[in-house]
Amino acid sequence: MTERAPGQPSGYIRDHGVHPPLDSPGYRSTALRHPKRDLVLLPHMLTEVTAPLLGEDRVGESDNDLTRQHADEPLGQRIIVHGRVRDSDGRPVTHTLVEIWQANAAGRYRHVADNWPAPLDPNFTGVGRTMTDAQGRYRFVTIQPGAYPWRNHDNAWRPAHIHFSLFGRAFTQRLVTQMYFPGDPLFFQDPIWNSIPDPGARERLVARYDHDATEPEWALAYEWDIVLRGREATPFESEVDDE
């Protein structure tokens, strides 16, 4: 049901049947991150809605191909991830910035806080960006990410996933979500996945294997559409998650 929850300011509406609650006890980090006081809507002044401009000039030639950002090829299964960004009425969201970040094939991020004993890949940074085209389409070439342990609960492993960040033209228009892969055996114990109340909404986070877009002897393909609003909305995180 879409309604204004206690503590939320007028003008802020969150669909509690789709999006995770701000405080999800199963996901231990939310105890430290969720708001402890009533939210306050700050007015958007000229700076918030016009700067910085996040457009085509922010995207480099190889930013959408994470396998070509270094001198040599990264290790792992090469994949293509593509889809469309749409609004609630099905209209394409055009010329908007899409960013991704992910673990490498061994399940490790290139990040100072990630030091579990899995190898780093010198030819894989795990970060990419692109702009949607006139039909709202995006496309990345990357490496299938690995699962990794985290200390949320006993023997906890995150399912393989890719983080997505969508911008309008400024930081105040940012949305963050995750894409999962079909048939992952770790869904059952992942509190981020299970914090989404509606099982149907969870399934909208799972990409579809796309054999038609798979390139012979080169890369498997997955299709994943992102819907920003409405009944078919993609569940979004309430905050940036580094894991």
- Catalytic positions: 109, 148, 158, 161, 163
Contact 212, 179 (CB under 8 A): no
> E strands within 118-223?
127-131, 137-143, 148-149, 157-158, 161-166, 175-180, 208-209, 220-223
Q: What are phi and psi of 43, to 5 degrees?
A: -65, 140
Alpha-carbon dihedral 26, 109, 204, 218, rounded to 10 degrees:
-150
Q: Do 5 and 16 touch, CB atoms closer than 8 A?
A: yes
- Interatomic CA distance for residues 243 and 21, integer angstroms: 18
Tell me how many degrees the CA angle 123-127-128 measures, rounded to the nearest 5: 110
**For residue 188, what are its two tokens?**
């059952």
Q: Which helix (H) or strand (E) is 78 found in, with range?
A: strand 78-86
Of 161, 123, 180, 186, nearest to 242 by C-alpha is: 161
| Pairwise CA distance, residues 52 & 42, whole Å | 18
The number of angstroms, rounded, from the C-alpha of 131 to the middle of its chain's C-alpha atoms is 15
